[in-house]
């Protein structure tokens, strides 16, 4: 893997700006640990060998043009080709966007090789932004990240998002790749006391290798809810870690991934109850067709002393072909008392009896299958708010079935 290090993080290429020391330190850590391989537990089912095979060029990619229009009113910040080329002339009331203070990055730690991609991001990022949501937003805020067809380099977007005390927002990550490069995102989201964030991830990729590490910190009485519509791509790895830091914090993840031939999607989620009187819920569904591969690892960690915490984790999965594969692993680690934690996990196939039933009502096989798939996959999206966003997600799902 050292050739890969040389290719992805050549020392000479490190830019000399106010983040230079931070990049150097990250680079050293990366050199020290190397990249994960299949023996690295967290990367057991997802290989980065594709990265080695690709000769990614360097330098900023091209512009991807405007992101797809949304069927509702929203404010958009466009990371065009992975970078913010033109900071928006005007931001909605209550939103601030500024370069991230290097001091914020001095002590970050991504651990060993399992965190290599995050170290790589820190070693190679061009831009680091801090988005502050200071007060309740009137309409959804969209972070559009689009990669154009010719994209064959590596980008390492880095973003910190703060939702201020008591503020409420709907934040939509609209991610669309048409290229064949590497997109390696690190984002940190912090919800201050009583804040409420509806976080939507909508992703539809082509050939790019897409690695995204999202860490969410939830303070007292704050409420974080994620809705993900993962329409997959050549290789997607999403880590989503939600840390419930103070009493009254709530964290919820609802996601669905639809994976087809030539696609590999790996979602690693972790909800960490660090103190008591915190609640969480997660429902994740994977549908894999063709030779598609899906991985879901859902970890619930209730720490010692986090008494009176409640958690529910459910994953249901559907194999649509003989060649498709799905690996799921719910992990419950409970070290506290007076805790309720439930979990369920299933992998199944479309029911012949249901298919026949629909056909006897006149639906051709294709339509009947689409309806059954939709019935299965729409459930995690049905709790999305507001309604316009929910309807959009459901229509986007319907369009690919």
Partner 1 sequence: MLKINNLHVVIGDEEILKGLDLEIGPGELHAIMGPNGSGKSTLGYALAGRDGYEVTDGSMEFEGEDLAEMEPEERAAAGLFLAFQYPVEIPGVNNAYFLRSALNAQRKARGEEEVDSMNFLKTVRASLKSLKMDEALLKRAVNEGFSGGEKKRNEIVQMAVLQPKLAVLDETDSGLDIDALKLVAEGINAQRDGKRSFLVITHYQRLLDYLTPDRVHVLSDGRIVESGGEELAERLEAEGYAFLEETSEA
Residues that bind partner 1 (CB under 8 A): 351-354, 356-365, 367-368, 371-372, 374-379
Find the angle CA(202)-CA(203)-CA(204) to the nearest 5 degrees.
135
Least Å from the CB of residue 163 to partner 1: 32
> Which helix (H) or strand (E) covers residue 360, if one does?
helix 352-360
Least Å from the CB of residue 365 to partner 1: 7
Nearest CB to partner 1, comparing residues 340 and 365: 365
Q: Which residue, among 365, 317, 310, has the nearest Cα to 338 in the 3D structure?
A: 310
Residue 255 φ then ψ, to 5°: -145, 155
Nearest CB to partner 1, comparing residues 17 and 382: 382
Nearest CB to partner 1, comparing residues 328 and 397: 397
Nearest CB to partner 1, comparing residues 164 and 319: 319
Is the CB of residue 22 less than 8 Å from the CB of residue 122?
A: yes
Is the CB of residue 44 less than 8 Å from the CB of residue 38?
A: yes
Nearest CB to partner 1, comparing residues 147 and 377: 377
Is the CB of residue 211 less than 8 Å from the CB of residue 237?
A: yes
User: How far lies 310's CA from each of 85, 191, 240, 337, in Å?
Assistant: 43, 20, 19, 11
Would you put residue 45 in left (φ > 0), alpha (ψ -120 to 50) or beta? alpha
Least Å from the CB of residue 355 to partner 1: 9
Least Å from the CB of residue 362 to partner 1: 4
Chain Cα centroid distance, residue 211? 8
Least Å from the CB of residue 353 to partner 1: 5
Nearest CB to partner 1, comparing residues 333 and 351: 351
Least Å from the CB of residue 180 to partner 1: 35
């Amino acid at each position: 893997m050292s050739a890969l290090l040389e290719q992805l993080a050549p020392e000479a290429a490190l830019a000399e700006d106010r983040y230079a020391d931070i990049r150097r330190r990250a680079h050293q850590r990366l050199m020290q640990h190397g990249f994960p391989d299949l023996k690295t537990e967290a990367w057991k089912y997802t290989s980065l060998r594709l990265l080695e095979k690709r000769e990614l060029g360097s330098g900023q990619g091209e512009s991807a043009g405007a992101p797809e229009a949304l069927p509702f009113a929203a404010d958009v910040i466009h990371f065009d080709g992975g970078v913010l080329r033109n900071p928006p002339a005007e931001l909605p009331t209550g939103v601030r966007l500024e370069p991230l203070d290097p001091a914020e990055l001095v002590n970050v730690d991504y651990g060993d090789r399992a965190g290599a991609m995050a170290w790589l991001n820190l070693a190679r990022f061009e831009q680091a932004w801090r988005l502050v949501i200071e007060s309740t937003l009137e309409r959804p805020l969209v972070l559009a990240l689009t990669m154009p067809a010719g994209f064959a380099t590596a980008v390492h977007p880095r973003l910190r998002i703060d939702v201020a005390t008591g503020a409420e927002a709907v934040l939509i990550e609209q991610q669309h790749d048409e290229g064949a490069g590497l997109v390696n995102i690190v984002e940190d989201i912090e919800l201050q006391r009583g804040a409420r964030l509806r976080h939507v991830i909508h992703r539809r990729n082509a050939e790019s290798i897409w690695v995204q590490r999202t860490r969410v910190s939830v303070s007292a009485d704050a409420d974080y809810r994620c809705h993900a519509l993962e329409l997959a791509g050549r290789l997607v790895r999403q880590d989503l870690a939600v840390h419930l830091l103070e009493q009254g914090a709530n964290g919820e993840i609802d996601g669905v991934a639809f994976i087809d031939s030539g696609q590999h999607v790996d979602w690693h989620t972790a909800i960490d109850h660090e103190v008591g009187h915190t609640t969480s819920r997660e429902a994740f569904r994977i549908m894999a067709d063709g030779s598609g591969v899906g991985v879901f690892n859902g970890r619930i960690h209730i720490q010692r002393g986090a008494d009176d915490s409640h958690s529910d984790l459910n994953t249901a999965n559907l194999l649509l072909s003989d060649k498709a594969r799905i690996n799921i692993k719910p992990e419950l680690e409970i070290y506290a008392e007076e805790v309720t934690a439930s979990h369920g996990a299933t992998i199944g196939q479309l029911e012949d009896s249901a298919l026949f039933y629909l056909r006897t009502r006149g639906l051709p096989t294709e339509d009947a299958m689409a309806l059954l798939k939709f019935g299965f996959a729409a459930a995690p999206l049905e709790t999305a708010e507001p309604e316009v966003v929910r309807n959009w997600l459901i229509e986007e799902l319907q369009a690919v079935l």
